[in-house]
Amino acid sequence: MTTTDDQEFREIESAGAPTRFARGWHCLGLLKDFRDGKPHQIKAFGTELVVFQGENDGQLHILDAYCRHMGGNLAKGQVKGDSIACPFHDWRWGGNGRCTGIPYARRVPPVAKTKSWPVLERNGQLFVWHDPENSKPTDEVTIPELPGYGTDEWTDWNWSSIVIEGSHCREIVDNIVDMAHFFYIHFAFPRYFKNVFEGHVAGQFMNSTPRDDIGIGSSYDNPDSRLESEAHYYGPSYMVDVLRNYVGDRLVETDLINCHYPIDNNSFVLMYGARVKKPAGISDERANAMAQKFTDGVKVGFEQDVAIWLDKAPIDNPLLSEEDGPVYQLRRWYQQFYTDIADVTEDMTKRFEFEIDTTRAVESWQAEVDENIAAGRVHRAAR
């Protein structure tokens, strides 16, 4: 607190963004975008990576992008067999990081090895494991398999990405406990809201309805619809949101992915995608159009968030009301991914549950909505 002549007021505290990158699985995008026979350069974790698919083994591999021989950029080279060839001197590097051949040399130096990054292919997406301690990922912290992926029951992913400059990726994680912003930023009306943290998983359970004082722009957003959402972060950067939207007597089931990876300490790539369970009697074309429309709506929502992140102050000591949710508990949970494994404490991983009493919020927001309608003030929800 700071004291002036007539009052005390709270100062904003901020220690700055973490100087290390989070331990955990990070999604880099859709598998199909990397399976084209070409090397792909990814700027992540303050360095450069190269992703390539072996011609023979068919596997995706991730290495440091710069050749350990003379620093050539492997992402500018060619895939040759199951190796990536440097464009500078044609040194070949296998998926395990070992040099597999030097065309002009009699032998490969025994120490010729570069960094190979652990890879996971799951749910049609590519993941890379990052840990400054170079630990190996375990089954306990893996990414769950989504039911029905790859079957005719569901559409394929409708996928988008955006680069966020000037903000740390921890800003997006705060949203999982932030009930109130759904009303003011996203024009939703939370009726039930609960968080559960345990181990490497942070969950959000929310039931909501559309606001009556907005212009409806999506076929999902029937004024009489209701949405049940169960969202879980699996590790520091990959969230699966299972959505059940009830529109009259129809149920629309959607899986939303919200994920990111850091470029550096002050920028990150935000990706999101949706798939829809095909309702009975709906053509593939219609189901894909539904997924596209839903993703378009999600895009607007993320753009609304981004506008806030880029114009807000980072704050380590937020001043909270009871209805603001367990922000400090979430941040303790999140801290485990920026801490050496030996230093992770019980309060970062033990089970924690918190349900917000929405009674006051619902009464206040309903009064605001009624007043807006009476005054003819209608918000337009761009979709």
Q: pLDDT digit string (tens) for 260-282?
A: 999 999 999 999 999 999 888 78
Predicted confidence at residue 192, as pLDDT, reads 97
Looking only at the bridges linking them, the beta strands covering 238-247 and 226-234 are antiparallel
Q: Where are the domains of the chain?
A: 24-141, 158-380
Length of the chain: 383
User: Looking at the predicted structure, is the pLDDT value of residue 2 above 70?
Assistant: no
Cβ atoms of 293 and 220 within 8 Å: the answer is yes
Residue pointed to by tokens 């997924």: 291
The set of residues, in sequence order, having a beta carbon less than 8 Å from that of 107 and lying 6+ positions away, is none
Q: What angle do CA 308, 194, 185 make, to 5 degrees?
A: 20
Cβ atoms of 262 and 141 within 8 Å: the answer is no
Predicted confidence at residue 140, as pLDDT, reads 96
Per-residue confidence band for 321, with pLDDT thresholds at 50, 70 and 90: very high
pLDDT in tens, 332-341: 999 999 999 9
User: Looking at the predicted structure, is the pLDDT value of residue 195 above 90?
Assistant: yes
Say what the pTM is: 0.93
Q: Quick one: which of 324, 302, 325, 327 has its CA closest to 174?
A: 327
- For the 24-141 domain, the top CATH level (class) is mainly beta
Mean pLDDT across the chain, nearest whole number? Answer: 91
Cβ atoms of 182 and 300 within 8 Å: the answer is no
Per-residue confidence band for 48, with pLDDT thresholds at 50, 70 and 90: very high
**Which two structure tokens, joined as six digits, stand for 47?**
């360095």
Distance between CA atoms of 22 and 116, rounded to whole angstroms?
18
Distance between CA atoms of 62 and 49, rounded to whole angstroms?
7
Output the CATH code of domain 158-380: 3.90.380.10
User: Looking at the predicted structure, is the pLDDT value of residue 383 above 50?
Assistant: no
Question: Which has the higher per-residue pLDDT, 232 or 298?
Answer: 232
Distance between CA atoms of 258 and 273, rounded to whole angstroms?
7
User: Looking at the predicted structure, is the pLDDT value of residue 259 above 90?
Assistant: yes
Average the pLDDT over 354-363 and give the result: 95
Predicted confidence at residue 217, as pLDDT, reads 45
Equal fold, 24-141 vs 158-380: no
Per-residue confidence band for 382, with pLDDT thresholds at 50, 70 and 90: very low
- Give 16's DSSP letter: -
Cβ atoms of 128 and 78 within 8 Å: the answer is no
Inter-residue long-range contacts of 369-374, CB under 8 Å, 24+ positions, other chains counted: 369/189, 369/211, 369/212, 369/213, 372/213, 373/212, 373/213
User: Looking at the predicted structure, is the pLDDT value of residue 218 above 60?
Assistant: no
Question: Which has the higher per-residue pLDDT, 96 or 219?
Answer: 96
Predicted confidence at residue 212, as pLDDT, reads 85
User: Looking at the predicted structure, is the pLDDT value of residue 254 above 60?
Assistant: yes
pLDDT in tens, 220-249: 456 678 999 999 999 999 999 999 999 878
User: Looking at the predicted structure, is the pLDDT value of residue 191 above 70?
Assistant: yes
SS3 58: coil
SS3 284: helix
First to last CA, the chain: 43
Cβ atoms of 268 and 164 within 8 Å: the answer is yes
pLDDT in tens, 53-80: 999 999 999 999 999 999 999 999 999 9
